[in-house]
Chains A and B, each alone.
Chain A
Amino acid sequence: MNTLMRWIGIAVVIFIAAPLVIVVPMSFSTAASLQFPPPGYSWGYYQQFFSDPSWLRPAWNSIYIATMNTLLTMALVVPATFALVRHKFWGKSFANLMMMMPMAVPHIVMAVGYYSYFGELKLVHSKLGVILAHSCLSVPITFLVLSANLKGFDLTLERAARSLGATPGQVFRHITLPILKPGLAISALFAFIQSFDETVVAIFISGRNAETLPRKMFDSIREEADPVIAVISTLLFAIVFIGLLTPSLIKLVRRMTGSPQPK
């Protein structure tokens, strides 16, 4: 029974991980189009990606939009989460529902909505438009991660700090914020990835001026199946992987060098 479960588990992991295994070798391919297994290996497409402005511009667009999206989302979600987790007020469950709404509504519906609504506001084909739309889409996941963290936060810690002489502001700065830091970092990371990865809304409203990387990839695969796409996929995967692994790596290095824990 146990061995059977283990093999099923391994099979599922292989099935899920297969796209990654295929994409990474293809990025080093010498073939003129996407082809697996690759006929030969080279860095050619990496060079192409890093030297071609038609790829680099959307890459910078994506980084800029995702960064702005993260800042805006956090500015909205952090206070909202504190209010929704810690306080009781009239209409709270409705507010909770509204926070989760963008997750329930299909992206394509949101995209069509933004397309016509932002058209009126002259926000289509602008970075600001994409940032605003992405922030809305990033709210649910950011809120979920952060509220789970905040619910697990022991309020007696704040009481203890008050009794020890800290004002509410000092409690937030010295106790609440540092303890919630990992949760804040992870929810910000999710907001960033959500925007960086988002395709549907970007296709509808980003236009030429605010073209994001996923949109450019989509256009490219439709037109020519350029293996640069595999390069970008590999780079994105590597970045996210490193991002998720960093905390564990830091811990590991600390343990190995025996240096003291952070303050």
Chain B
Amino acid sequence: MSAYLRLAGVNKTFGSFTALGHIDLEVEKGEFVTFLGPSGSGKTTTLMVIAGFEQATKGEITVADQSLAHLAPQERNIGIVFQNYALFPHKTAAENVYFPLQMRKVGKKEGMKKAEEMLELVGLAGFAHRLPKELSGGQQQRVALARALVFEPDLLLLDEPLGALDKNLREQMQIEIKRIQKRLGVTTIFVTHDQTEAMSMSDRIVVFSNGAIEQAAAPLDIYHRPATRFVADFIGESNLLEATITDAASGKAQSPVLGEVTCGAEGMPPLTDGQAVTLLIRPEHLKLSREPKEGRQNAQMVIETIVNYGDNAVVIGHAGDQQIRVRVPGADVVILKEGDSCHFSWTADAVFVLDK
């Protein structure tokens, strides 16, 4: 195995509270992995255990087959970008970036030169002599990134680094971080609770919930083939419907809301007759129409709310007790009215089955 970072059975308890159950994870060298989950799900705790600010109660962490167990944070050679950037307010941008080199006994002249090169790489040439308070949020973010990378760390950890930025800057920094990470090839762990951020940046997403890993897979796998109901619900928008498998061989299931459904999405878990399952249909895979559509499976709903996003809209309706969300192109939404009754339809390859 060529795993670069390996967490084996990592467990962390605070008194009687279990923060991390039993974390097993392997990360390849150069990989960009995102820890995604709601707050309190254990993603930041895992990060802090890797960084050495928290001690694992049980389990082992290795980087390149070397155990981190007896290394203090300053001996781990891990670069961290904190949520609030944690720039040293009494040092200029260049001095901040020079700091890790100074701690590694790199001379001032050589170190400052390297620091300025790093600042150039993150797009801050000419800002070297500014104090943090004289920089904007996005610029401070870049300084923090440069500081965490300048000493060529074995790992780069980013703890919700974009949380404090506004939307446009966020997207710009997502692209920027990804560009720099690719260029330097540093193994990176990025913690966020923002699923679009996770989707757009990661090689692999690790979904956390209640101190355990729900699923670790590529972004599109997570989206199209979620391992659990939690993942399906947490990532993207979803319609989750109860059903029972009636004919496993042909993928037939009976749902109280949709009637008989044929399930045919790629990569489904093996099914057995009579199995209670949850069906997942993404809102963008549903279509709305006045009349049932030929060649598709159809059901009826009453429109309750229309949420308009301009280029598209989400139509929320009810089929029996079940809430149904349908994403439609923005242009289509004008013919729909709240309170209208209509049909929604789908094809077999849009229906994914989750083990209940």
A-B complex is real: yes
Residues of A within 8 A of B (CB): 154, 156-157, 159-167, 170, 174-175, 178-179, 260-263
Can you list 29 A-B pairs with a CB-CB distance of less than 8 A?
Answer: A154-B84, A156-B82, A157-B86, A157-B88, A159-B82, A159-B86, A160-B80, A160-B88, A161-B99, A162-B72, A163-B51, A163-B74, A163-B78, A163-B80, A163-B148, A164-B99, A164-B151, A165-B74, A165-B77, A165-B103, A165-B151, A166-B103, A167-B72, A174-B102, A175-B88, A178-B90, A179-B88, A260-B129, A263-B92
Partner of B86, one of A154, A166, A178, A261: A154
User: Are A166's CB and B89's CB within 8 A?
Assistant: no
Given contacts A166-B103, A167-B74, A260-B129, contact A161 B88 (CB under 8 A): yes
Partner of A159, one of B53, B72, B129: B53
Question: At the interface, yes or no: B27 with Cβ under 8 Å from chain A?
Answer: no
Task: Identify the interface centre among A160, A166, A170, A175: most chain B CB within 10 Å of its CB.
Answer: A160
Q: How far is the CB of A54 from chain B (nearest CB, A)?
A: 47
* C-alpha spacing A167/B73, complex, angstroms: 9
Q: How far is the CB of A250 from chain B (nearest CB, A)?
A: 15
Residues of B within 8 A of A (CB): 51, 53, 72-74, 76-80, 82, 84, 86, 88-92, 95, 99-100, 102-104, 129, 131, 147-148, 151
User: Are A164's CB and B51's CB within 8 A?
Assistant: no
Given contacts A156-B82, A156-B86, A175-B88, contact A162 B73 (CB under 8 A): yes
Q: How far is the CB of B82 from chain A (nearest CB, A)?
A: 5
Task: Identify the interface centre among B76, B84, B90, B148: most chain A CB within 10 Å of its CB.
Answer: B90
- Sorted nearest first, the 9 A-B pairs with minimum C-beta distance are A165-B103, A160-B86, A164-B100, A162-B73, A156-B86, A163-B80, A165-B74, A178-B90, A166-B103
Q: How far is the CB of A195 from chain B (nearest CB, A)?
A: 30
* C-alpha spacing A179/B91, complex, angstroms: 10
Q: Is the interface of A mostly helix, strand, loop or mixed?
A: helix
Given contacts A164-B147, A167-B74, contact A263 B103 (CB under 8 A): no
Residues of A within 8 A of B102 (CB): 174
Residues of A within 8 A of B53 (CB): 159, 162
Q: How far is the CB of A132 from chain B (nearest CB, A)?
A: 35
Residues of B within 8 A of A260 (CB): 129
User: Are B82's CB and A261's CB within 8 A?
Assistant: no
Partner of B89, one of A161, A174, A179, A263: A179
Residues of A within 8 A of B148 (CB): 163-164
* A156 nearest CB neighbor, chain B only: B86
User: Are B88's CB and A163's CB within 8 A?
Assistant: no
